[in-house]
Structures are given as structure tokens and as C-alpha cells.
Amino acid sequence: MKYVPIPVALLEIGKPLPVDVWSASGQLLLRKGQPITSEEHRDKLHAHQASSTPADALAWQRSYERMVHAMLSAGADVQAIGKAPMPSEIRATDYVEGEQLNGGWLDLQEVLRGILYQGGLAISPLERLAGIEKKALELLAADADDSLFCLFQALADSAQGYSATHALLCAVVCHMTSFKLAMPEPQREALFSAALLMNIGMARDQDSLARQNTAPSAWQRTLIQEHPQKSVEILQGFGIDNPEVQDIVRWHHAPDAPEGLPSTAMARRVLAMADSFIAKMAGRKTRASLPPVKAVRSMVMGAEGVGQGIASAMAQAAGFYPPGTYVKLANGETALAVQRGARANTPWVIPILDKDGVALGKQVCKETTSPATTIASAVTPEDMKVTLSIDKVRKARARIHSL
């Protein structure tokens, strides 16, 4: 049997282990229920390349992802989450193979967040990343507007954590933009993979930065500057040896670096632009989120040369008011964008508040092409106290063709 290395550094001394622990050669080191008794004991396990069966490894990873999600939902500090040990209990449901990767975007977010938080200690990362990519591309192909809606709504929810949502949304926007630019398939695939993993070198710190009340400190600025190379090193440790994926990640903060591979030049620029575009629309404790139309304007106005074509393609792909964001209509109603329209500035919307700020009880999709429903301005998620469930949005969108 091929055994899977376990993150020995994340095992808590004195707590019972929820799995049998084996050496890389198949020798039983610890039985399920036995604890690590000391630091010396932990060192011995590390020296014997402590491992578990593939089924136990994946179930343990799912248990860890559940724990992280629960801690985030409870408002736990990200650094405390980062220091949390592997859980000492695995539920029977954690052994249900593929359960999380058969769900929607929030399920993928939970799995990806676990990998990003564990970094180089992640269990079975290649198999899980392949599953995330496959399912993400299936969801995107099935309904791009639903995909954008789910992820832009998640971007505004700090309880979900920022790093995984940012990664998924960047990957989606990059993928949609790459088709607008007619990029070759190998570059599209490398770009998608790179977008998911570009910040794995600082994922927990990325979430801390999103929540802190002060500007980045000197050491945090150094971390931001150095994380692309650290991310590449983690990818190499995973066994991701695609030189284009590594190159895109390495230079995503310096897309025009002359050291970059010629074949990734366009992909590097697309990822760098998407990274900045999405970050501007994510609120911080130190600043409000930038409305999408202003983020688009900033992106287009700041682009030069090849960048102008990329900015235009990205704006057309996501729209000026992407699904999942909020707008104020000319008639005074506040609405939720739910589907891109014929033009980048004319999405389909569902009004949710009347002109007096009273919640509307009926969900009806409207085009924003008439004088009464044209968009007057964008509304930031921080200003919203009401939203709609994804089920209500999907039911309303299903009636668009009959309007």
C-alpha cells in the first residue's frame, strides 16, 4: 500500500490520534487512540516519515477543513486558526469520498481553504487540487453567472475567510478573460491552476491582513513581497512541476519581469490584473470595498499597451456590475445584480428594497435598459443589510426567458 505523509508538526502532544500511524515502509508506529507523548516522540515519528492510509488521510483532512470553517464562523483569530493542531476526532461522514467536491462553490472554498492554510503540510494536495479544478470548471461551464454570483457574495462575507474566495474568484475571472483573449488551452489551464495557488505562501496572513485595523507592518510588507517565491517552493514540494504554472505564480506581482517565460507573458499579466481587480472589491477593516464599476474604471484607466486589451476583455467578461453585487436604480430601488446583460453596464437585477428602503417581498428579474431601471450608481456590500438566498435568485433567474 502507498501511504500518505501526515503533518507531524500539527499533531498535539497528549491528544489521542484518530488514525493508525505507519512508517513509509508500512510498519505500524501508533495505533488509533494512542497519543504522542513528548517532543522526542514527535521527532521519532518525523524520522520514520509518519504516514496514514489514503482513506484516513483524506478523512482527516476533511475533519481539519470542518474545524477551520467552524472557527472562522465563530470569529476566531486567523493566527489562532493557523496554530490549531490537527483534530483528534474524525466523523464517519468524513470518510464519504468526494462529498465536498460534489457540492457548490462554498464546498470548494472550504476544501481549498484547508489546503491554503496548511501550505506545505497539506495532506494529499495534488489529488484534492485536481478535484477542485475539475469541479470548478464544471460549475463555471454550467452557469457562469451563478458562479460569479456565489463568489462575489462570498467575497463580501468575512466569516467565509478571504484567501480561498479571492483565489477562486481570480481563477474564474482569469478563465473567462482567457477565452475573450483566445489564449491557447495549455496557457488557460496553467493560468487557472496558478490563480488558485498564487498566495499559498501567505494564505493565513492574507486573511489576517483582511481583518486587521491597521496598515501592513514592515514585516507584513516583506511577506507580501516575498510570498510569490515561497508559493513556488510549496508547489514544488507538492510535486507540481509544470514550469508554466510555477512561472505564473512566481511573477504574478511582477508580470513584466524579463526573467519570466515568454510563453506565460499574457497569463502573468491577466493574473496580475485579476488579482488587483478582485482585491479592490474586497473590503478591509481599514477601507471600504471599491464598487465594481470603479474597480473596472481603475483597471482600464491604468492599463497601457497590451494591458488595455486585457483590461477590456476582463471588463467584458465580468461586467461593470457583476452578479452578486448591488446597485441603485434610477427609480430609487436598490437591486441585486444576478446575471450579465447584453452589455457590460446592463445586467439583469432583482430589486430588493424600494425607494424608501423597505424590503420587497416578490423577487422579479428586471433588465436595466429602460429609463426607470437604468443603473444610477453602485452600492457597496457594507451598506446592505438585506440580501437574497441563492435559491430565490436561481428561481427568479429561471423565469427570465419567459419575460
The model's pLDDT over 176-197, given as tens digits with 9 standing for 90+, comes to: 999 999 999 999 999 999 999 9
C-alpha to C-alpha distance for 288 and 322, rounded to whole angstroms: 18
**H/E run at residue 350:** strand 348-353
Per the CB < 8 A criterion, the answer to whether 83 and 10 are in contact is no
In the structure grid, which three cell numbers stand for residue 358, read together? 423597505
**pLDDT at residue number 400:** 86
Q: Output the CA–CA distances (angstroms, integers) from residue 84 to 28, 64, 68, in the order listed.
A: 26, 9, 9
Which residues of the chain carry a pLDDT beneath 50? Answer: none
32-72 pLDDT, tens digit each: 999 999 999 988 988 899 989 988 888 888 888 888 888 87
Cα distance between residue 326 and residue 261, in whole Å: 39
**Dist CA 156 CA 154 (whole Å):** 5
Cell output for 320: 461593470
Q: What are phi and psi of 33, to 5 degrees?
A: 100, -20
DSSP sequence for 63-105: HHHHHHHHHHHTT--HHHHHHPPPPS---GGGGSTTTGGGS-H
Provide the β-strand partners of residue 348.
339
pLDDT for the residue numbered 309? 92
Please give the Cα distance from 111 to 148 (Å, whole number).
19
pLDDT for 124? 84
Instruction: Answer for the pair 152, 325: CB distance below 8 angstroms, yes or no.
Output: yes
Q: Could you give the count of Cα atoms lying within 13 Å of 64 in the half-sphere of its Cβ?
A: 28
Task: Look at residues 159, 60, 74, 75 and name the one whose alpha carbon lies nearest to residue 114.
Answer: 60
**For the chain, what is the radius of gyration of the CA atoms?**
22
Give per-residue burial for 379-395: e unless 16+ CB within 10 Å, then b.
Answer: bbbeeeeebbebeebee
Neighbouring C-alpha atoms within 13 Å toward the C-beta of 236: 11
Residues with Cβ within 8 Å of residue 371, at least 6 apart in sequence:
330
How far apart are the C-alpha atoms of 392 and 403, rounded to whole Å?
A: 17
Cβ(145)–Cβ(101) below 8 Å:
no
Helices (H), 181-202: 185-197
